[in-house]
Structure 1
């Protein structure tokens, strides 16, 4: 039970960290940083932190064989692909609608977990999933009338990719330490995104204190911390539960947007956040 609560807590911390990604992204865009630059250098910073931690603690255990291929694949194919599809989806629809379609991924995780991880799904899991999806819809203010069929297809595929990433990660963590897996996933994602950014001609090196401050924040707060804690939490609880707890991420993104960027928060948004949190509390008591 103690390990279970710690797992939920770690996933919660991870969601808070990932919730800062949109804030740093907006600050970076305002500072003139391209998406490619922010995506690549966030992983450069995070990778440096991960490997420094493993070296200083004497826990460096480089992956080999199948686990090495899986770890690199999770970063280069899983995380990087999902990130690329997310930004591509933004070209077709509003950020709110993109968010609600992407956040269907917990439903995919539940299905994949039952099929491949032999996880048992209870009525509380299904209810919590419904609350989480409904709450996210209210938070993002998504309007289905503005849904572009191509964009919907792209985002549903992104959700499936991310769900597969979580499911494979959960299976891999049965044999690999969470910190070790983190240290292999991040550089693989960074290299994949660097190749894509170079091909597009949008990758550049940050300059000045402001740009580097944003990049460091992205690397530490929005990448290294949440990925470390996500894998650590995922190794302790079911993948289906972890994905549902992660839906608190947009709650913190909206809250931080209001505090730091003076973004408007409506009553509907507050209600949506409360519904998401109620789903997480239901899981914790389950």
Structure 2
């Protein structure tokens, strides 16, 4: 019991680290299905699987489906719009032309957007240590995904723009989620957001629907879609919101910078890509940045911690 109590403060960090690996796998899984199925259909299938699982888990835990108030529903609809419709359509559209490594480094800009939005809309206080930590963690993520060569990050394309919009959508989802979590649990919030986002995705899926293509999808494509639905949505979204609830938006958002690291590590095993010195150094820099963001500091910029 004493051993468990000593580990309890680490649980949010363990959950967020696991979240980053689940999200990293989405880039690898998403890359395997581009070209086989339209982005809107892939996103719809992902969240159809996720919504069904989340509803079953919610019924099992709560014995009923809670009915949100009108103001809560407005927040949940905003979560569906940003974290499900916007994020996933832009991600899958971007992955059609952008590599998983390059995509993951653009997503590494997430903590910057999250921090700016948190300061502007949530009144979060920004310490010098957090600023340094954000700079280090983003730099480490860029070093990892670029493999130490600036040339790998040049020539910004329309696919890159889609991934950047995807990052902004996720930052919005994170900040809006902080409001929603004041009155609803992570499970209820993620379930409703997934269901509402699924409804929003339906017109796009129907517009591009090619049911023959869906019927002809191979085993590897269905495994990728199942992974994105179960691990990349149900597990990752719940762990992320639990992390936000425990640590706040800025500190939890810093773990987004582990996504390029996890994406490349998973690509090593799944796609037989190599790990070079830049990945090792970048990973260590990213971890140092996350440590600084999550450490305490007495004096904040313009206020007290």
Deviation at 1:232, TM superposition (A): 1.4
Worse-superposed segment, 88-97 or 186-195: 88-97
C-alpha distance in 2, partners of 1:160/1:25? 19
Root-mean-square deviation over aligned CA pairs: 2.7
Q: Given the two structures, how large is their TM-score scaled by the length of structure 1?
A: 0.87
Residue 213 of structure 1 is matched in structure 2 by: 223
C-alpha distance in 1, partners of 2:24/2:160? 22
Residue 170 of structure 1 is matched in structure 2 by: 178
Deviation at 1:106, TM superposition (A): 1.0
Report Cα offsets for 1:124-146 as digits up to 9, x if no partner. Answer: 21111111111111121163432
Correspondence 1:242-261 to 2 at 5 A: 242-261=252-271
Secondary structure at the counterpart of residue 247 of structure 2: coil
Residue 8 of structure 1 is matched in structure 2 by: 13
Residue 156 of structure 2 is matched in structure 1 by: 147
C-alpha distance in 2, partners of 1:23/1:144? 19
Worse-superposed segment, 191-200 or 181-190: 191-200
C-alpha distance in 2, partners of 1:19/1:105? 14
Contact in 1 for aligned 2:25/2:266 (Cα 8 Å):
yes
Residue 234 of structure 2 is matched in structure 1 by: 224
Deviation at 1:213, TM superposition (A): 3.3
Secondary structure at the counterpart of residue 182 of structure 1: helix
Gaps of 5+ in 1: none
CA change 1:52–1:153 in 2 (3 A) is closer
Residue 127 of structure 1 is matched in structure 2 by: 132
Contact in 2 for aligned 1:36/1:197 (Cα 8 Å):
yes
Deviation at 1:83, TM superposition (A): 2.3
CA change 1:70–1:247 in 2 (3 A) is same
- 1:271 is aligned to 2:281: yes
Q: Given the two structures, how large is their TM-score scaled by the length of structure 2?
A: 0.82
Contact in 1 for aligned 2:100/2:263 (Cα 8 Å):
no
Deviation at 1:107, TM superposition (A): 1.0
CA change 1:144–1:205 in 2 (3 A) is closer
Residue 66 of structure 1 is matched in structure 2 by: 71
Aligned length: 284
CA change 1:152–1:46 in 2 (3 A) is closer
- 1:109 is aligned to 2:89: no
Residue 186 of structure 1 is matched in structure 2 by: 194
Gaps of 5+ in 2: 1-5, 297-305
